[in-house]
Amino acid sequence: MKHAWLGKHLIPSEEERSLRCEIERSKTAIEAARNHFEHVIDPTLIDCYIYELNAAQLRYQFLLRRFKSREFSPSCENRI
């Protein structure tokens, strides 16, 4: 992951900013699915929101792993 330096501050790359944005979207999707799940009574919708919540949580975990693996890549290790 390439970063630019501005004085003493490290400026995140476009890829990192995009990944952070996707992580935030995933957190929002998890909260929305959880909220919907808590307020439905129809069994079909309950199943729907269970699947939606599981999918959102898996996506969030995937994005976090991807972010962490890039954050500690050898190309950035010497700069931090």
For the chain, residues with pLDDT lower than 50 are 1, 5-8, 72-80
In sequence order, the 6+-apart residues with CB closer than 8 A to the CB of 60 are 23, 26, 27, 29, 30
pLDDT for 77: 40
* Phi, psi (rounded to 5 degrees) for 40: -100, 155
Per-residue model confidence as pLDDT tens digits over 26-35: 999 999 999 9
Domain ranges of the chain: 14-77
What is each CA distance from 45 to 1, 34, 49, 56, 74, in whole angstroms? 41, 12, 6, 16, 46
In sequence order, the 6+-apart residues with CB closer than 8 A to the CB of 18 are none
- pTM of this prediction? 0.71
